[in-house]
Amino acid sequence: DGGITQSPKYLFRKEGQNVTLSCEQNLNHDAMYWYRQDPGQGLRLIYYSQIVNDFQKGDIAEGYSVSREKKESFPLTVTSAQKNPTAFYLCASSVLSGNTIYFGEGSWLTVV
Amino acid sequence: GQNIDQPTEMTATEGAIVQINCTYQTSGFNGLFWYQQHAGEAPTFLSYNVLDGLEEKGRFSSFLSRSKGYSYLLLKELQMKDSASYLCAVRDRRGLTGGGNKLTFGTGTQLKVEL
């Protein structure tokens, strides 16, 4: 089945650690996105990429990093510089000229 | 920048009709989206408007007025499973020379459907 796969579903991070969230899509979409959602809040854009080897900062990029070495993959690293990383992280993708963003199932990150 | 406002919560009765409003202020407007999100799950696409008017899709309809910066989502024949958060999002194509969907989301309206 085509879709977006995020892993892990649940992740616990210790203070000072970097963690990487995986996002893979087999929809042949050029554009990919990472959003963060805090309880009772809307989604906020962290990073997005329109093409392989290129990406742009969204509204809350500080403390995060991404790479886009393959069209199918857009991993997000939450670095130790992100002081409040506990949140629900959503990866998404779309065609460049389309009107629909498709979301993965999300990853819950908790700092312990 | 962009500013999107939605009511925080709404309650409605099963079988009834409910209208969820969304107002926005943005430059570079290029479409408005509505998503449904159940707790702990990914958002699912409901509707898209780029021109003024009403778009109908089964029990769900969405309206847009670009001059007023206003949209609403209309849900008819409410069912218990419609209890969810409804997210309004605006697309801004400024700076996206190759296309894509850079969306800014509102905080969502939590709808509770009661018997």
Torsion angle in degrees (nearest 10) through CA of B20, B39, A40, A108: -150
Residue A99: pLDDT band (50, 70, 90) is confident
Please give, rounded to a whole number of angstroms, the shortest distance from the CA of A16 to a CA of chain B.
Answer: 26
Give the pLDDT confidence of A45-80 residue by residue, as tens digits. Answer: 999 999 999 999 998 999 999 999 999 999 999 998
Give the pLDDT confidence of B55-113 residue by residue, as tens digits. Answer: 999 999 999 999 999 999 999 999 999 999 999 999 877 655 556 678 889 999 999 99
- pLDDT for res A87: 95
- d(CA B8, CA B110) in angstroms, rounded, equals 6
Residue B107 contacts A where some CB pair is shorter than 8 Å? yes
Please give, rounded to a whole number of angstroms, the shortest distance from the CA of B51 to a CA of chain A.
Answer: 13
Interchain CB distance below 8 Å, B100 and A40: no
Annotate B71-115 with DSSP letters as a single string.
Answer: EEEEE-S--GGG-EEEEEEEEE-TT-TT----EEE---EEEEEE-
